[in-house]
Amino acid sequence: MNKKRKPLELYVHIPFCIRKCAYCDFVSGPGTKAMQKEYEEALLAEIDAAEETAEREVISVFFGGGTPSAVDAGMLARVMEKLRSKYVFSEDAEITLEANPGTLDAEKLKCYRKSGFNRISIGCQSVHDEELKRLGRIHTFAEFQESFALARDAGFANINVDLMSGLPEQSEEKWEESLRTIAELSPEHISAYSLIVEPGTPFAEQKLDLPDEDTEREMYARTAEILAEYGFFQYEISNYAKPGFACRHNIGYWKRTDYLGFGPSAASLFGNRRWTNTADRSLHLKACGALEKIREDEEILSRQDAMEEFMFLGLRMTQGISTAEFEEKFGKEIHAVYGGVLKKYEAMHLLQEHSGRLALTRDGISVSNVILADFLM
Amino acid sequence: MSGIDQSKIRNFCIIAHIDHGKSTLADRIIQKTGLLTEREMQDQVLDNMDLERERGITIKAQAVRTVYKAADGEEYILNMIDTPGHVDFNYEVSRSLAACDGALLVVDASQGIEAQTLANVYLALDHDLDVFPVINKVDLPSAEPDRVIAEIEDVIGLEAQDAPRISAKTGLNVDEVLEQIVQKIPAPEGDPTEPLKALIFDSVYDAYRGVIISCRVMEGSVKKGTRIRMMATGAVEEVVEVGYFGAGRLIPCDELSAGMVGYITASIKNVRDTRVGDTVTDADRPCAEALPGYKKVNPMVYCGMYPADGAQYGDLRDALEKLQLNDASLFYEPETSAALGFGFRCGFLGLLHLEIIQERLEREYNLDLVTTAPSVIYKVHKTDGTVIDLTNPSNLPDPSEIDYMEEPLVKAEIMVTTDYIGPIMELCQQRRGQYQGMEYMETTRAMLHYHLPLNEIIYDFFDALKSRSKGYASFDYELLGYERSELVKLDILVNKEEVDALSFIVFEGSAYERGRKMCEKLKEEIPRQLFEIPIQAAVGSKIIARETVRAMRKDVLAKCYGGDISRKKKLLEKQKEGKKRMRQVGNVEIPQKAFMSVLKLDEN
């Protein structure tokens, strides 16, 4: 590894799925073979046109969606090839593919391995079929189990499973059952999200019987406890991993490592610039690699913006942020900037400083939105 | 123009209860006399402000002059003065009436006489106006013109058999109204050679011309160059222009003489110099005495107005200043609240006036306001013999310095169908009303007379009245005077800290109930925070009610957004924005709207 190279992460959006879930607000939808082919061309053109970054080293790639496993495995292979031809990859780069049960088979998995994917993230969400049905998922729990086993057989030694709490009519017991069942399968990583009803999704139109605040809090608190029993440690608000398996790609987001996103709605951070690609799939196709037509909402981050991000992203991680790093990056002692806020939350035992790091406490994590918002100036 | 024949002038106004169709009839008259083409016609020409059109009420007096060719072949000048239609503006109404020689009484053919109809008719009769009735909305299926005509004759004692039965909406029989205006309303009198004596019934500020005075010339005449003096305020200016009111525009003329209605401009900078009711005379040849009836109207209701964003303090001050140019009865002075920061204590004629000003500030000046509970003026008699007028509850002296207190009392008339007499009497009882008597109008309707403390009716009395009578009760009141009362200051403590902006004066016997309701309401309005928040109501050092806002348990964004940090930031910014709309009291953030929600303490 060349020490001089700065790290870079890549994100590739695959806006196709078998069917849209009831809570999903990502840019995705079903697509024909022809549409997928057309998209592949646009995507490759976009990658071609992107920043030349000879001095960078790619430390992680993440294929998200949509359901990347719903498209032809050959397409993913060709995109990987393009990325490898354009960028320098570090030897141990983490290369993740998002997959859904019901779209995986041994053949595809073999193909993924060959393309260099070494981590797979499977959307399970629940071990209860009635909950899966309510969410509009296309699969049963049995199908998940099968997919999981297939992935292991194909040689995936780093698997994430997504689970979701706060579902309509979900009891604490049901949630606990989901957690334990998955933990017993012993994946390397578990992402435990809570359902957020987003405007524009079918869920937003329905009257849902959602767990109340206290139940949600209980579910959230129990998640960390239960997963700890199985050797998972919480390293971020909604992410848990066995030692050594924290998702590097995600950590990159919290630590503000540069990343380039390809495909509609993909976000990028490069130096002091952030931008988001158009969410309009047909616009993305038509642009055919013309970046000025794809990239939107470009924002030049001021030092203050960067400072705020450093705090509200960094504090999502259980290890928190390093006060020395803050000073090194921004040339100011952290207490000189955030003294009031820090003091306030430390007094409430929601934040603590320990050997040069500042981190939210357990109670602090539960109400982190309130605290993180206070770091905006 | 001095050659205008007085006998061909008719000065009149239209009086009616809200919604009985006054403005629609005015529009129809303007249209019938051909003043406006159909294209120029916009519904309710006289109600100039957007707010007036929306609320369907007249806030400021307006006048318009039209020419009508009557059946006798002669052309008559009709000066129609539209009067404000709300009890808050009673004084303005009385001045508009004084400018007229007669009045049309518009009564809804289904609704019949209402409390306000009566109040206005009596006001008109007090001014010796000839009043003739018009039955409107006869096209509605529920119309009962015969019943309403009988009611007018029985209750008011006005001859009503030949009252035009019209529909202002469709234009039916409006011609008949015009004929009756000519026949039944007397021509003005007054000697144009006498010294000038003109009554101001409205004045508005115009950025280019200064104040435009609307007036009725009673005696003498006025023209460009006349040095005029306002007899009450003493302001003297030289007339720049005189003229009369076209529909929506001013039409200059050479002279206004006795009997005419028109406007005067004279480079006057502030409506405070040209108060409604004042007499305009010739400074060089003054009349012997002013017209009767002038009074300086004083605010009856006060509240604190604060910019939601403290940085808008200057904008609020500028906006109030501009509104006051046009509204001599609006009062304001700076005040400071520990909870709300810098703002103004404002005085209004009544609650509607308050709401109108608030809405205009928000709409026309784009201000986001926090308003404190309205308060009446209490008279605090101190032990040292001095008396203070208390407009802000926070300024109440220490109880040890108070001998006793007085509160304003109003004489209220409530008209209600007999089915609802019970519930309405109960409401008045609850609001400490003193029953004065009741009259039956017909077998189905009655007029209730009460004396009520003003502070009991400025909150939600009108709403309560409407809800208890299924909308059938109508209500009118006038200030009676002050009465000694057992009053206390109710304080609200949030997380043990007193919130000055939430304090108010309340009748001792109601303190517990009000305190309890305040606490309940605030509990709903104050969002959970990171710690438990006690909300207490106290009189002096005694806590009389308590609620608790439980601590927030969970607020965490455990969702997968990938690298879309901008979106995450936006969510946090929204949270932060929400906080900005809150007021910090001690450690607690109180939403702006909590301060206003306490105005609406539901009855039931």
pLDDT digits (tens, 9 = 90+) for A169-228: 999 999 999 999 999 999 999 999 989 888 889 998 888 899 988 898 899 999 999 999
Last residue of a domain, which of B337, B371, B405? B371
Residues of A in contact with B552 (CB under 8 A): 213, 367, 370
Does the pLDDT of residue B39 top 50, yes or no?
A: no
On whether residue B291 sits in a domain, the answer given is no
Q: Which own/partner pairs from B425-429 qualify as long-range (CB within 8 Å, at least 24 positions apart)? A: B426/B468, B427/B461, B427/B464, B427/B465, B427/B468, B428/B452
Q: Is residue B593 part of a domain?
A: yes
Q: Is residue B27 domain-shared with residue B161, that is, in the same domain?
A: yes
Stretch B17-40: mean pLDDT, rounded?
Answer: 72
Tell me, yes or no, whether B269 and B390 share the same domain.
Answer: no
Consult the annotation and say whether B48 binds a ligand. Answer: no
* Nearest Cα residue in chain A from B555: A367
Say whether pLDDT at B1 is over 50. no
> Out of B49-53, B385-389, B567-571, which region has the weakest mean confidence (pLDDT)?
B49-53
Q: Residue B463: what are its φ and ψ, rounded to 5°?
A: -60, -45
Which residues in chain B have their CB less than 8 angstroms from residue A309's CB?
565, 569
- Residue B337: give its domain's CATH number: 3.30.70.870
B138 belongs to an annotated ligand binding site: yes
Residues of A with CB under 8 A from a CB of B: 11, 62, 64, 162, 165, 191-194, 196, 213-214, 216-217, 220, 237-238, 253, 259, 261, 265-269, 274, 276, 297, 299, 308-309, 312-313, 348, 350, 365-370, 372-374, 376
Rounded to 5 degrees, φ, ψ at B594 are: -65, -35
Q: Looking at the complex, does the CB of residue B552 fall below 8 Å from at least one CB of chain A?
A: yes
Domain identity same for B395 and B327: no
Share of chain A above pLDDT 90, in %: 84
B315/B409 same-domain check: no
Give the nearest chain B residue to A297 (CA atoms). B566
- The verdict on a CB contact (< 8 Å) between B555 and A309 is no
> Å from B367 to nearest chain A CA?
24
Are B407 and B544 within one domain?
A: no
pLDDT higher for B136 or B473?
Answer: B136
- Interchain pair B565, A196: CB under 8 A: no
> Is residue B477 included in any domain, yes or no?
yes
Tokens read off for B18: 């809200």
Residue B191: inside a domain: no
CATH of the domain at B557: 3.30.70.2570
| Mean pLDDT computed over B500-505 | 90
In chain B, which among 473-532 make CB contacts under 8 A with chain A? Answer: 529-531
**Residue B463 shares a structural domain with residue B497:** no
Residues near A347 by Cβ (< 8 Å), separated by ≥ 6? none
Are the beta carbons of A367 and B555 separated by less than 8 Å?
yes
Q: What pLDDT is recorded for position B601? A: 65
Contact A297 B566 (CB under 8 A): yes
Asked whether the beta carbons of B415 and B118 are under 8 A apart, the reply is yes
Same domain, B34 and B159: yes
Asked if the structure places residue B362 within a domain, the reply is yes
Mean pLDDT across A67-83: 95
**Banded pLDDT at A302 (limits 50, 70, 90):** very high
Asked if B562 lies within 8 A of A11 by C-beta distance, the reply is: yes
pLDDT score of B602: 54
Distance from CA of B312 to the nearest CA of A (A): 20
Residues of chain A contacting residue B554, judged by C-beta atoms under 8 Å apart: 213-214, 216-217, 220, 366-367
Query: Among A212, A22, A18, which residue's Cα sits nearest to residue A134?
Result: A22
What CATH number is given to the structural domain containing B267? 2.40.30.10
Model confidence band, residue A259 (pLDDT cutoffs 50, 70, 90): very high
**Whether residues B21 and B163 fall in one domain:** yes
Contacts of B575 in chain A (CB under 8 A): 369-370, 373
Rounded CA separation B328/A117 (Å)? 78
What residue ranges define each of the domains in chain A, with the CATH number in brackets? 6-254 (3.20.20.70), 303-373 (1.10.10.920)
Contact assignment for A193 to B552 by CB distance below 8 Å? no
How much is the pLDDT for A325? 96
- At which residue do the structure tokens 């040209």 appear? B274
The Cα-based distances of B296 to B25, B263, B266 in angstroms read 32, 21, 22
Name the band, by pLDDT with cuts 50, 70 and 90, for residue B41: very low
Spatial strand order in the sheet of A357-360 = A321-322, A357-360, A351-354
Residue A28 banded pLDDT, cuts 50, 70, 90 = confident
Residues B479 and B492 in one domain: no
Whether residue B355 sits in one domain with residue B255: no
For position B389, which CATH number holds? Answer: 3.30.70.240
Could you say which DSSP state residue B444 is in?
S
B210 neighbors B268 (Cβ within 8 angstroms): yes
Query: Which of B88, B87, B91, B84 is CA-nearest to residue B56?
Result: B84
- CB-CB: which of B563, B576, B579 is closest to A267? B563
Question: What pLDDT does residue B85 have?
Answer: 62
Contacts of B564 in chain A (CB under 8 A): 265, 267, 276
Query: What is the pLDDT averaged over residues B33-59?
Result: 52
How many angstroms away from the CA of B555 is the closest CA of chain A? 4
Optimal mutation site among B550, B553, B584, interface A, most CBs of chain A within 10 A: B553
Report CA B94 to chain centroid distance, whole Å: 14
Residue B578 resides in a domain: yes
% chain B with pLDDT above 90: 45
Burial of B417 (0-12, 13-18, 19+ CB in 10 A): middle
Pair (B462, B500) in one structural domain:
no
Q: How confident is the model at residue B38 (pLDDT cuts 50, 70, 90)?
A: very low
Residue whose token pair is 């078998």:
A18
Give the model confidence (pLDDT) of B146-183 as tens digits: 999 998 898 888 889 999 999 988 889 999 999 999 99
Sign of the CA dihedral running A145, A146, A151, A152: positive
Final residue in a domain of this structure, among B282, B309, B331? B282
pLDDT of residue A226: 97
At residue A36 the predicted structure's pLDDT band, cuts being 50, 70 and 90, is very high
Rounded to 5°, angle at Cα B178 from B172 and B182:
160
In tens, the pLDDT along B237-249 reads: 999 999 998 866 7
3-state secondary structure chain A: CCCCCEEEEEEEEECECCCCCCCCCCCCECCCHHHHHHHHHHHHHHHHHCCCCCCEEEEEEEEEECCHHHCCHHHHHHHHHHHHHHCCEEEEEEEEEEECCCCCCHHHHHHHHHHCCCEEEEEEECCCHHHHHHHCCCCCHHHHHHHHHHHHHCCCCCEEEEEEECCCCCCHHHHHHHHHHHHHHCCCEEEEEECCCCCCCHHHHCCCCCCCHHHHHHHHHHHHHHHHHCCCEEEECCEEECCCCCCHHHHHHHHCCEEEEECCCCEEEECCEEEEECCCHHHHHHHCCCHHHHEEEEEECCHHHHHHHHHHHHCCECCCEEHHHHHHHHCCCHHHHHHHHHHHHHHCCCEEEECCEEEECHHHHHCHHHHHHCCCC
Q: Which residues of B touch A348 (CB under 8 A)?
A: 530-531
Per residue in A131-179, pLDDT (tens digit) is: 999 999 999 999 999 999 999 999 999 999 999 999 999 999 999 999 9
More confident residue, B138 or B604: B138
Q: How many CB atoms lie within 10 A of CB B415?
A: 27
Query: Which chain B residues are closer than 8 Å to A368 by Cβ?
Result: 555-557
* Total count of domains within chain B: 5
Does B17 appear as a known binding residue?
Answer: no
* Structural domain boundaries enclosing B209: 197-282
Q: Following DSSP, what letter does each residue of B148-202 receive, concatenated?
A: HHHHIIIII----TT--B-BTTTTBTHHHHHHHHHHHSPPP---TTSPPEEEEEE
CA nearest B529 in A: which residue? Answer: A370
Give the model's pLDDT for residue B452: 95
Task: Tell if the CB–CB gap between A62 and B552 is shorter than 8 Å.
Answer: no
B19 is in an annotated binding site: yes
DSSP letter at B20 equals S
Note whether residue B602 is domain-resident. no
Q: Best residue in A98, A175, A253, A301 to probe B by mutation, most B CBs within 10 Å?
A: A253
Question: Cβ–Cβ of B553/A194 closer than 8 Å?
Answer: no
Give the model's pLDDT for residue A77.
97
Q: Is B166 found in the same domain as B59?
A: yes
Q: Which residues of B touch A217 (CB under 8 A)?
A: 553-554
Q: What CATH number should be reported for the domain holding residue B103?
A: 3.40.50.300
Domain-ending residue, one of B338, B371, B404: B371
Total CB pairs under 8 A between chain A and B = 104
Q: Give the closest-approach CA distance of A148 to chain B in angstroms.
A: 21
Indicate the SS3 state at residue B127.
coil
Tell whether the model's pLDDT for residue B68 goes beyond 70.
yes
Which amino acid does the sequence have at A46? Answer: E
Per-residue pLDDT tens digits for B446-494: 889 999 999 888 877 877 888 888 777 878 888 899 999 999 999 999 9
Q: Tell me, yes or no, whether B428 lies in a domain.
A: yes
Condensed to tens digits (0 to 9), the pLDDT of residues B353-373 reads: 888 888 889 888 889 888 888
B577 to chain A, any CB pair closer than 8 A? The answer is: no
Contact A11 B555 (CB under 8 A): no
A248 within 8 A of A94, measured Cβ to Cβ? yes
CA distance B519 to chain A (A): 23
| Residue B49 confidence (pLDDT) | 53
